[in-house]
Amino acid sequence: MVDEHWLTGFRHTVGDFQQRHSGNGQVVSIKVRVESGCFHRSCSPEAYRIIDAHLRRPPKDVEVIEHESGPELLLYLAVTAGALSLAKSVVELVTEIFKARAAGIKKGDRPRDPLVLIVRRVDEKDEYREDVMLRIGSTDSVDSGAIEKELTAAIKVILKRR
């Protein structure tokens, strides 16, 4: 069950982000969340050094929000030729976050709990939807192809529900 206070804040954040973009697109949240504990710069400084370096040139139409449980990417997915498109730079950023976590742990970051890739959105009926797409442990290899496949599948589901 989703906490109503959190959900109100999420809807507000998504709505504000949507208003900053024009066109017939869809706002989607890609959340990289630790299963337990913290994945924030205070407990994962080595990982965030890598993430910060990658964010010097953030993908277009993406906002990164830091949370104690891990970073969240708000994306504005433009509708082109009847389909929502996911930029390659977004896949690269998500992949880099997972890789940064593993590299940070090797350099002493804690905790070591697995990360999950979650796609969240508020649909046209203002209903909250969340799909857990992938779980990657700190010692698992990070496959950008698998991340791209899961994110693309989530985008197709979003397009179907529109």
Listed in order, strand segments (DSSP E) in the chain are 26-34, 62-65, 72-77, 79-80, 83-84, 115-122, 128-136
pTM beyond 0.85, yes or no: yes
State the residue range of the domain holding 46.
Answer: 4-161
* Number of domains present in the structure of the chain: 1
The pLDDT tens digits of the residues spanning 146-161 come to 999 999 888 877 766 6
List the chain pLDDT tens, one digit each, 162 residues: 789 999 999 999 999 999 998 777 889 999 999 999 899 999 999 999 999 999 998 888 899 999 999 999 999 987 765 556 688 889 999 999 999 999 999 999 987 899 999 999 987 788 898 999 999 998 899 999 999 999 988 887 776 665
pLDDT of the residue at 45: 96
Tokens of 1: 């069950």
- For residue 126, the tally of other CB atoms under 10 A from its CB is 9
- For residue 105, the tally of other CB atoms under 10 A from its CB is 18
pLDDT of the residue at 122: 87
pLDDT of the residue at 98: 96
